[in-house]
Structure 1
Amino acid sequence: MYSRQSLTYLFVIMAIIVVLLSLWLSNRLVKELADEERRKIEIWAMATESMLMDEEMDMSLVLRILESNTTIPIILYDKSSGKLTPRNIKLPEEDAESYLQIKIVEFGRRHDPIALLEMNQLLYYDDSHTLKTLQLYPYWQLLVIALFTGLAFFALNRSQRAERDRVWVGLSKETAHQLGTPISSLTAWMEYMKLKEIDPQLLTEIDKDVSRLQMITERFSKIGSITGLKPEDLRGVIRRSVAYLEKRVSGAIVFNMRFPEHPVIVDLNEPLFGWVIENIVKNGVDAMQGEGIITFEISEKGKMIHLDISDTGKGLHKSKFKKIFSPGYTTKDRGWGLGLTLVERIVEENHKGEIFVRRSEPGKGTTFRIQLRKN
């Protein structure tokens, strides 16, 4: 079965073939019509010359030939007198002679003039209005094809995105629903164990994990819903997320934070944005195989806040910078490849921001940049 990307490439190739074939046919038709107009002008020149040089010529036939040209602009130039005689050309009210001189130059660039040797004259001519329109037709055709192709791709992309969104929302809400029952049961068991003689420190850690499960359930339930954003200090949100992660990753992972001394206020939904931090950190930990440095750096530029998250892992080739956000893409043996897709959705749709790979190099690590508007 063809992949969606392969079908897209096939569609583009077919569209290019259709366009090239259309251009070839149009150019061939234009050339044939141009040759026919040249022959008509040559016949017209012969008729003009014959009318003046051969008195026994059937004048009615000659006049019929001369009067038949109603579409092709011509200028008859007499070398002896310098007189210019136009036909099928709309002359300006003033300075018609200069206008015709300009037209002769234009006509001469497009077509070689036809010499009337017996009369010592040159016949200059231009393409008819029909031929000029036909010459432009392929480009208008290209524009229309490009427009409809673009609209088709846009509609297809929107349709696929809407379908993907429905799957995301359905899966997320069903996950939240399924998690609700065991979490309620765990909460009840926690209250029961607090009444027994059990190590309080152990109960505290279990309680933290139950609270974490409740937060995860809340995150899933918010996917597809209108999320409430409120002003938060970005530094605090990151510190709280990292504090949770530090106890659950390898001790060989070092977290560095380069933050401004003043509060960095942005509109956030902390449970969802914390999910973004966790997913990126977990990807970095996997890329570093449990040992290395993860650095958080906040900078400001105009009305934008930039959060750079860097790791010292195996890095990426430039060709993968956009692909890693695609659903199903993963370099790990396990997992569904949905983590960074979810991150992109939360940043761009829930927080109206942007996330991308700022830089990466195989063997030297990766830096993700998240851009958010200031509060």
Structure 2
Amino acid sequence: MAGSEAPGSRVEHVTATGIRFIGPKAASLASRSESAVAPGRDEDTLFVARCQVRRRLGTGSALNIVLQELSAAVLEGWPGAPPLTRDRSVRRPAARFEGLVWDVEGDAGAWRGELLWRRPHPVIAGAPCTTHVILSELDANVTLLVRVTADKGLASVRGMVGAGQARPIFLSAMSRTLRMFHDGLEAAAHPLPDDAIAGFVRDVLLSDTREHPVALLAPQEDGAFVVPPPEIAADLIGIAHVYFMERHAATFRLSDELGDRRLSAYWGALRVYLPGFSCGDRPEEHPLLVRDRLVDPVMRADLYGSLGRFARRRIAWPERTAPAEAPRTRGGAPVTMP
């Protein structure tokens, strides 16, 4: 919406995202604002994760598989979107619920790609989000950083539940064909037999150097799980290590080793032990989802949102190395689409 440009009149322009520019350069500034997706603010973070990616035996390049999964995710919200590749940039002008910049630089073995992708929140109507992905390849090592922000932070997605629901599902898709690692441990559900409980408490839970949350899943009395351990592990890729006790009897050993059953996990519950855990902590300092709550996807989303936000404290997000409005490319001119 442009106003009159007669002398003394006020010129203004309102962008598709609701930003109002006033003054003689309003139209120019608005055009530049609408043309590129801007990174979200750190304080508006809903989810952040970091992991290393390796290929499984019999599969191709880990980086190529990551790019395929990212492309498939983008295609769901943008029919006809060009694929994300390692040698060509892509951009789609920004609007309230859409827009994309894919920026690449370097060559095989020393390569970096950065994605800024604007889209609606997957559950909460009227809440625009920005997914920010940074991929780096050094020799054969691929690192994946993912952050999701909302324009108005937690308030716009109804708190921690909405934050948990914003977790990108492409992470779970990648884990089915790739090996994902987080802080040196594979992002999988790791079994704990009865005789491993003492060492787990001593070397993992009570470790002075542990910087990540540890999620521990207990079986029910019949040995079954309320939620399958691999599903929990897929949901917590890049933000927590996941273990599960193989037998109900192991839950008694856990309580004995901790010295306080209120800090334990049993009868199908999921307990998350945050860094700095000690056996003298108050139980409420380390989140617990009992069986009846664990089975509820909303309660799990609330927990995952809290853990995704917790990761923000320890995962430093790098600054952009180039402005979004001038993407780099090695394979010719950037692909620009409406």
Question: By percentage of residues, which structure has more strand?
Answer: 2
Which has the bigger relative contact order, CA under 8 A and spacing at least 6?
2
- Choose between structure 1 and 2: higher helix proportion: 1
Structure of larger gyration radius: 1
